[in-house]
Chains A and B, each alone.
Chain A
Amino acid sequence: MSLDKPYKDIPGTTVFDAEQSRVGYHLNMFCMSLMKSANRERFKSNERAYLDEWPMSEEQKAAVMARDYNRMIALGGNIYFLAKLFATDGKSYQYAAALMTGMSQEDYAKMMLHGGRAPEGHSAGERRDG
């Protein structure tokens, strides 16, 4: 009997379930390794060589090299693990979130200041809050 996964229909959202976790295991564990300063240095000095130490798919490695976070999430990445990667680059959650929405960081920050994105997926406006 298959599991019911109604969350698959929510637009613009990838739920990190057991299936995604299985696909993304090595991608996420690579990210986890960046919690150690020595590993961050080694990764920064030669990204490709560092990635080749991990049994990740070529697609996953390419997505990491391109810092394509939506692609990494599609390939099993989880945002809390991917956070180690953008932290290694000196970037914030807000930087990564803006990137994934396709907005400039400035426009994204402005949207958040105006109450964020309404659940329907549109910028809030009338939901302004403070």
Chain B
Amino acid sequence: MAKVTAGVTTSHVPAIGAALDLGKSRDAYWAPLFRGFEFSKRWIEDNRPDVVLLVYNDHASAFSLEIIPTFAIGCAASFNPADEGWGARPVPVVQGHPELASHIAQSVIQQDFDLTIVNHMDVDHGLTVPLSLMFGQPQAWPCRVIPFAVNVVQYPPPSGNRCYQLGKAIRRAIDSFDGDLKVQIWGTGGMSHQLQGKRAGLINSEFDRRFLDRMVDDPEALTRISHLEYVRDAGSEGIELVMWLIMRGALNTKVDEIYRFYHVPASNTALGHMILENRS
């Protein structure tokens, strides 16, 4: 039986990928950020998943305005890194897990969550930057990855509560998969940031720290944060945090916080990173 072993959250700022790809990770600006992932890299070495279900948002790379799926699951065998306007990132092709992905799609749709099934798509920095942060720069990614894209480009994204309930449905789907797999769920994006308009550069550390605390012991309180509160308090792009709640919904009610890292700034963004394990 497949087993959900842990959850990871991290922001997925494109400049982090660029810093790594251009060999700037030891620069004074970036070094503290990458140091914050040293523990995580050791942890994942010791707790290697077979599959990561990686919740992220596409940034107008695979999906334009032609098709805007609220929830989309990647069921392909592989996914190429996207060219986002400056050439594709020099990172390995992402290997999917079509059997588990299709199983999750079928199970979750039968639990009333109408996923869009994607059999061909490129993956952008939203997905590849978290892999780089956790695994560094290997020749090949050391596990399979199921991309799970959430619309946070065109308002409104799904509500926090919808995401949390979806996480629970994904958990039931994984629990019922007939195969001996260790599965991690990653929730990416956030934390507070705003990339547009006069209010660009917004950071709200108080909001972020409260959010991190509640991810551990009161996620249901987070499901009640409205879209308006996210935009007002965490910035127009801070609303990406709803994706963390898919990850949290897929974990047990009780979790152990293995690690937490919070850093300002990563370019325009407050970076938040957590590792949570199911309490056994």
Chain A residues near B (Cβ < 8 Å)? 6-7, 10-18, 21, 25, 28-29, 31-32, 34-37, 40, 69-70, 73, 78-81, 83-85, 87-88, 90, 92-94, 96-98, 100-102, 108, 111-113, 115-119, 121, 124, 127, 129-130
Contact = CB atoms under 8 A, between A and B. Distances in A.
21 contacts: A7-B227, A15-B231, A17-B156, A21-B65, A25-B65, A28-B60, A29-B64, A32-B65, A79-B237, A80-B60, A81-B65, A92-B18, A94-B268, A97-B195, A101-B200, A111-B201, A112-B265, A115-B265, A119-B232, A119-B233, A124-B203
B280 interface: no
Contacts of B14: 93
B26 to A, nearest CB: 18
B78 interface: no
Nearest to B152: A80
A11 B198 contact: yes
B135 to A, nearest CB: 24
Contacts of A87: 84-86
A6 B232 CA distance: 10
A113 B201 CA distance: 10
A35 B87 CA distance: 8
B59 A83 contact: yes
Between B85, B86, B200, the greatest number of chain A beta carbons within 10 A of the residue's beta carbon is seen for B200
A56 B83 CA distance: 24
Contacts of B268: 93-94, 97, 112, 116
Nearest to B198: A12
Contacts of A14: 196-197, 236
A128 to B, nearest CB: 8
A13 B236 CA distance: 7
A12 B199 contact: yes
B15 A94 contact: yes
Contacts of A129: 203, 205, 262, 264, 270
Given A11-B198, A13-B194, A15-B155, A40 B85 contact: yes
B274 interface: no
A36 B86 CA distance: 9
B198 A100 contact: yes
Contacts of A80: 59-60, 153
A30 to B, nearest CB: 11
A54 B65 CA distance: 15
